[in-house]
Structure 1
Amino acid sequence: MSSAWESLTVDARDPARLARWWAEALGYQVVTERPGEVEIRQAPDRSPGIVFVPAARGKDGRNRLHLDLRPDDQEAEVERLVDMGARHVDVGRRDVTWTTLADPEGNEFCVLRPGGG
């Protein structure tokens, strides 16, 4: 027996706004939007999706799970994401090849260098 990864769920103060931000960042589309849940995917029939649900309170502390993005051009992608509303964050890591950013609600994610290293 095995399992397939269907989706990642993100608690958000404003699920619709954050879902649209991530859809733009990733080139995804909103596939489901109803009160209390907004889901984005690359295509409606393609897994995994990211589901945004309401949170009773804002984020506190560092994420225990985060996304790593690997663009073709790290510097250009960091600039694009910051222009969209991401911000640089310091999570205490030094001398690394990735850039750590936070989305508009403070969720950290990393932008890696191109390639596999």
Structure 2
Amino acid sequence: MALRFSEVCIDAADPPALAHWWSTALGWPTEPTEDGDIILKPPGGAGPLWAFLAVPDDKVVKNRIHFDFVPDDQQAEVDRLLALGARRADVGQGQESWVVLADPEGNEFCILAAE
């Protein structure tokens, strides 16, 4: 049996708004599905689709899985994402080389040090 990684599913109170935020942050196009979800497509098929799904529940605890991004310039990218509406998040990381941010619905992600 073989498995293929197809999608990352992201629960959201407002899927269109959260998908739009991530589309702006990543520069990936969005596409609505027949059942009302929103899909983000990575350029050139480089990775799984991101599916934003409507859920009635609020996010109340730290994510069990999160995204790590490697920028060309960490501080410039942190500043850009904060200007788009991300916020700094404290998940108990202390002083590390990465910066933890949260999207508008509170989903944590990391901006790593530039390589």
- The 5 Å alignment of 1:73-84 reads 73-84=73-84
Output the TM-score relative to the length of structure 1: 0.90
Secondary structure, counterpart of 1:109 in structure 2: strand
Distance 1:86 1:33 in 2: 26
Secondary structure, counterpart of 1:18 in structure 2: helix
Q: Aligned-pair distance for 1:35?
A: 4.8
- The 5 Å alignment of 1:9-20 reads 9-20=9-20
| Aligned Cα root-mean-square deviation (Å) | 1.4
What 5-or-longer segments of structure 1 have no aligned partner? Answer: none
Residue identity matched to 2:98:
W
Matched, 1:97 2:97: yes
Q: Aligned-pair distance for 1:36?
A: 2.9
Aligned to 1:87: 87
Distance 1:27 1:74 in 2: 17
Distance 1:79 1:35 in 2: 35
Q: What's the CA shift string for 1:46-82, capped at 9, x where partnerless?
A: 2411000101111010000111111100000000000
Aligned to 2:56: 56
Distance 2:24 2:34 in 1: 19
Q: Aligned-pair distance for 1:24?
A: 1.1
Identity %: 41
Residue identity matched to 2:65:
L
Q: Aligned-pair distance for 1:5?
A: 1.1
Aligned to 2:24: 24
Distance 2:34 2:105 in 1: 20
Distance 1:90 1:30 in 2: 29
Distance 1:34 1:13 in 2: 18
What 5-or-longer segments of structure 2 have no aligned partner? Answer: none
